[in-house]
Amino acid sequence: MAATGNTTLDAQSKEFGGSGFTFESGTTAITAPAGTYYAAYFPEDTVIAAITATNSSGDTLVGETMPKESVIYGDITAITLTSGSVFLYKN
């Protein structure tokens, strides 16, 4: 969906996946095709093998289990799973 110039409408469109998403349920490395993903939603318990986010800090998420229905927000550029699945929402 193209930007409308209405910042509220554009933000709501983005929030509800208006820019699209990528789904992965295996161990294939996923890299953002252009720019970044702004959110990762885990519909089931999921273990992260690798993740790159441009604006993150603190301890690594590698090896961590993301609980069912959890979300990570940030500028995510790449992710690989050990198990589980993820919806990656495009910027």
Rounded Cα–Cα distance for residues 84 and 46 (Å): 4
- Listed in sequence order, the residues at least 6 apart from 78 whose beta carbon sits closer than 8 Å to its beta carbon are 29, 30, 31, 32, 50, 51, 52
Q: What are the pLDDT digits (tens) for 47-85?
A: 999 999 988 889 999 999 999 999 999 999 999 999 999
Give the global pTM. Answer: 0.79
Of the pLDDT bands very low, low, confident and very high (cuts 50, 70, 90), residue 1 is: very low
pLDDT(3) > 60: no
pLDDT(22) > 80: yes
Token pair, residue 53, equals: 């986010």
Higher pLDDT pick, 2 / 19? 19
